[in-house]
Each structure stands twice: as structure tokens, then as C-alpha cells.
């Protein structure tokens, strides 16, 4: 081996040459070529992956207080498990208050009606906030979930566990059939499968009246229609008259209310049946617009208050849930049992119960939804217990 190959100043030394190993240290004051010599620490004891920290050094933070940012960089979380997630905990408190004190919510901007419409879904919102609290590793937000959960159970659990006691004195089917529903035969088939004595329909435009009448045939031979609402019945009908529910701004062609007497037996006074379709709620730039609907609610309440019939049934699309304080003028006069959630709209994924059968003098013992038709509403069927049966 000659010096013109190895060891000459400025000549790089081949790496990994098994014939030559570097000495433990360079000659005094010298270097190996141009790279300074650095003495490496001894490997850790057998079985250890990292050397123990030197005495007096600060131990690393616990895992709960760090999170991984950029690769190889750990940063400390802000706050503690109790101080993190305070906004999430506050949101849970707001949900609990909305559930427990919904009757005291202001009607401005339609807030009370909005909360009433989504009341059952507040539990799902609370569960979402719980997941966010767990992601934040916030004990405060996690424990705060117990408040809306308890409030939801207090308000809605009795409705989910109540057992109806159906009676078949009078079976009433109520359905907003939708004026663009072209499956008349399929819709009528679903309604007749419930074996009703009375069927109340909304959004029955003039061209559809005869089509529904022919489809019902001998099963429901009696009918009365006013405007876009109608009643078909097994029993004779009498004293049909329009009920004016027009809010301000509605024209003379806005006819969405009627009253008719259903006579189950010649020896009975008959049942006053109201077919109604209240105005819709509209979401506008100033919030939920409920003024027209609330005005029609007041008009309906006036008519019901003046009706002296022994038995009264109100069936229709009220565009309001029974939890809505705005509907109280009507629900103070006629009522419906709370069995289940009764979602009816929209039919593709029902989220709100706005189609109802209410009664006074008679008792509605069960209300349930029927299968979907060609409408954007689900039909409902109610069992009514008559006072003289």
C-alpha cells in the first residue's frame, strides 16, 4: 500500500475499507483529511432504547398535555382538562335551557317556533357537542352534556314510552296530498289501507277533486270540498261550510278551511270535523316569518271557541308542532295525545310533526303515520273515542 493512495493531505479516504480502520484519535493537533474528528458516545446498555436523562433535567410533559404538530415537534396544549372547552359547555347549557324553558322563549324572529320545530333534534346537537368536547379532551364540556341529556329525557321520554289505547269508534285519516302529486291511485291505496271512516285532504285543487272521488269510490261515498280542503266519509255529511282563515294579504281565492258534520248514526248529534291548512312558516332575512300562520291560528281558535258541538275534531296541516307556543290558542281548545315523535315532513326524511288530528268532547287515543305516498308529507291516522259510544 503506497502513500500516494492513502493518507496524503487532501486525498479523501475511502469509506468502509476493511483493510484499514481509523485510530481511536487523530495525531496531536491533526485531522483526518478535512473532516474534524468527533468522538461518539457509547451505546446505551443492552435492552434500553434511549439513555436515561441526566439527574436534574426537566422531565417531559405528560402525554395528555401535548399534541403532535409538525413531524418531530411537540407543543403543549393550552389550559387544563377543566379550563378547555368552556364554550362547548356553555352551548350545552343553552340547549338544556331551550328544552326546559321553551314556553318562555320570545316569539320575535320566530325563535320560539324554530326551537319547537327542532325540539327532538336538540338531543342530537348535544351529542355532537359531546364529541367535540371529547376531541378537545375537555372534562368540563363532557360533563356539561349531562344537562341537555337529562332535559331531553324529561321532556321527550314520556312520549316515547307512552302506550296508546286505540279505539275504533271513528278512524280519521289526515293527509296533505300535495297539489303536484300525480300518483292518485297509489295515494288512495295507502289511505284506504287504514280502513278509515273519514279522510281529510289538503292541497286538493279543482282538477284533482273528481280524481280522488273516483279513486275512493264506494269506500268513501260522501264528500264535501271547499277551496283546497276536502272531507270524504263513510258516513253521511251535512252542514258543510267554509271557515275563513285568511291572513292579511291573502286574496279571496285563498280558501283553506271548512267545517262539516259527520253523522255516524241517526241517533247521535254528529261530529263537527274541521279540515284546515294553515299558512307555512317562511325563513326570511329577519328570521322565521310566522306572522301569517299565527294570524290564522287566532282565527281558527275564535271559530272553535264559538262551536258548541258535543264532539269536535280538527284535522289538517297546521304547519306547527304541538310544542309551539304560537299554537296554544288552538291546543287549549282541542288536544292530541303525545305518543312517539310523529314526524310527518318532509316525507323523504321526516323531521318535524306538523300534521295533526285534534279533538274536544271526543278523545284522540292514538295517532300514527302511514307509509309514504307521492306527497311531500306523510299521512297520519287517528283513532277517536266518541263520547256516546
130-152 pLDDT tens trace: 999 999 999 999 999 999 999 99
Reduce the DSSP state of residue 335 to 3 states and report it.
strand
Reduce the DSSP state of residue 129 to 3 states and report it.
helix
Q: 348: domain CATH number?
A: 3.60.10.10
The pTM score is 0.77
Are 223 and 348 within one domain? Answer: yes
Judge contact between 90 and 81, C-beta under 8 A. no
Confidence of residue 7 (pLDDT cuts 50, 70, 90): very low
Q: Identify whether 138 is part of a domain.
A: yes
Task: Give, for 365, the enclosing helix (H) or strand (E).
Answer: strand 363-369
Are 175 and 149 within one domain? Answer: no
Q: Which domain holds residue 293?
A: 170-385
The pLDDT, as a whole number, for residue 27 is 54
Q: Identify whether 377 is part of a domain.
A: yes
Q: Give the domain-ending residue among 97, 128, 161.
A: 161
Q: Identify whether 68 is part of a domain.
A: no
Q: Identify whether 154 is part of a domain.
A: yes
Over the stretch 291-343, which tens digit does the pLDDT of each residue have?
999 999 999 999 999 999 999 999 999 999 999 999 999 999 999 888 888 99
The pLDDT, as a whole number, for residue 109 is 75
Are 349 and 255 within one domain? Answer: yes
Are 260 and 381 within one domain? Answer: yes
Reduce the DSSP state of residue 263 to 3 states and report it.
coil
Torsion over CA: 325, 279, 231, 301 (sign): positive
Over the stretch 70-128, which tens digit does the pLDDT of each residue have?
555 555 567 898 999 999 999 999 999 999 998 888 877 788 898 999 999 999 999 99
Are 238 and 145 within one domain? Answer: no
Q: Identify whether 249 is part of a domain.
A: yes
The pLDDT, as a whole number, for residue 140 is 94
Q: Identify whether 93 is part of a domain.
A: yes
Q: What is the number of domains present in the chain?
A: 2
Q: Identify whether 74 is part of a domain.
A: no
Are 140 and 206 within one domain? Answer: no
End-to-end CA distance of the chain: 122
In whole angstroms, how far apart are CA 8 and each of 28, 32, 33, 34, 306?
A: 17, 10, 8, 11, 118
Are 98 and 183 within one domain? Answer: no
Are 195 and 330 within one domain? Answer: yes
Are 204 and 126 within one domain? Answer: no
Look over the chain and give the mean of its residue pLDDT values, rounded to a whole number.
85
Chain center to CA of 165: 27
Q: Identify whether 27 is part of a domain.
A: no
Reduce the DSSP state of residue 305 to 3 states and report it.
helix
Are 113 and 154 within one domain? Answer: yes
Q: What angle do CA 219, 220, 226 make, to 5 degrees?
A: 160
Are 225 and 128 within one domain? Answer: no
Are 340 and 210 within one domain? Answer: yes
Amino acid at each position: 500500500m503506497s502513500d500516494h493512495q492513502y493518507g496524503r493531505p487532501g486525498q479523501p479516504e475511502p469509506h468502509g475499507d476493511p483493510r484499514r480502520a481509523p485510530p481511536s484519535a487523530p495525531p496531536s493537533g491533526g485531522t483526518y483529511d478535512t473532516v474534524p474528528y468527533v468522538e461518539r458516545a457509547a451505546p446505551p446498555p443492552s435492552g434500553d432504547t434511549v439513555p436515561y436523562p441526566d439527574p436534574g433535567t426537566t422531565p417531559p410533559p405528560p402525554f395528555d398535555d401535548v399534541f403532535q404538530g409538525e413531524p418531530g415537534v411537540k407543543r403543549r396544549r393550552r389550559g387544563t382538562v377543566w379550563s378547555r372547552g368552556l364554550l362547548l359547555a356553555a352551548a350545552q347549557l343553552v340547549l338544556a335551557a331551550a328544552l326546559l324553558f321553551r314556553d318562555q322563549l320570545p316569539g320575535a324572529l320566530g325563535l320560539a317556533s324554530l326551537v319547537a320545530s327542532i325540539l327532538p333534534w336538540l338531543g342530537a346537537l348535544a351529542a355532537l357537542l359531546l364529541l367535540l368536547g371529547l376531541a378537545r379532551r375537555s372534562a368540563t364540556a363532557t360533563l356539561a352534556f349531562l344537562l341537555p341529556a337529562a332535559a331531553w329525557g324529561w321532556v321527550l321520554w314520556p312520549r316515547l314510552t307512552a302506550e296508546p289505547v286505540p279505539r275504533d269508534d271513528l278512524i280519521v285519516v289526515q293527509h296533505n296530498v300535495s297539489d303536484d302529486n300525480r300518483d292518485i291511485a297509489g295515494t288512495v291505496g295507502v289511505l284506504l289501507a287504514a280502513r278509515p271512516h273519514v279522510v281529510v285532504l289538503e292541497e286538493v285543487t279543482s282538477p284533482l277533486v273528481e280524481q280522488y272521488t273516483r279513486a275512493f269510490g264506494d269506500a268513501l261515498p260522501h264528500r264535501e270540498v271547499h277551496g283546497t280542503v276536502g272531507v270524504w266519509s263513510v258516513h253521511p255529511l251535512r252542514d258543510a261550510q267554509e271557515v275563513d282563515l285568511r291572513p292579511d294579504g291573502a286574496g279571496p281565492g285563498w280558501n283553506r278551511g271548512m267545517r262539516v258534520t259527520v253523522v255516524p248514526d241517526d241517533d247521535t248529534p254528529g261530529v263537527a270535523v274541521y279540515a284546515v291548512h294553515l299558512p307555512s312558516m317562511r325563513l326570511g332575512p329577519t328570521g322565521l316569518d310566522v306572522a301569517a300562520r299565527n294570524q290564522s291560528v287566532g282565527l281558527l281558535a275564535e271559530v272553535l271557541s264559538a262551536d258548541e258541538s258535543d264532539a269536535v275534531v280538527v284535522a289538517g296541516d297546521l304547519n306547527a308542532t304541538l310544542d309551539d307556543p304560537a299554537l296554544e290558542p288552538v291546543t287549549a281548545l282541542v288536544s292530541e295525545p303525545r305518543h312517539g315523535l310523529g314526524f310527518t315532513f318532509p316525507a323523504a326524511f321526516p323531521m318535524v310533526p306538523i300534521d295533526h288530528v285534534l279533538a274536544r268532547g271526543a278523545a284522540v287515543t292514538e295517532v300514527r303515520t302511514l307509509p309514504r305516498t307521492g306527497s311531500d308529507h306523510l299521512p297520519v291516522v287517528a283513532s277517536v273515542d266518541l263520547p256516546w259510544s
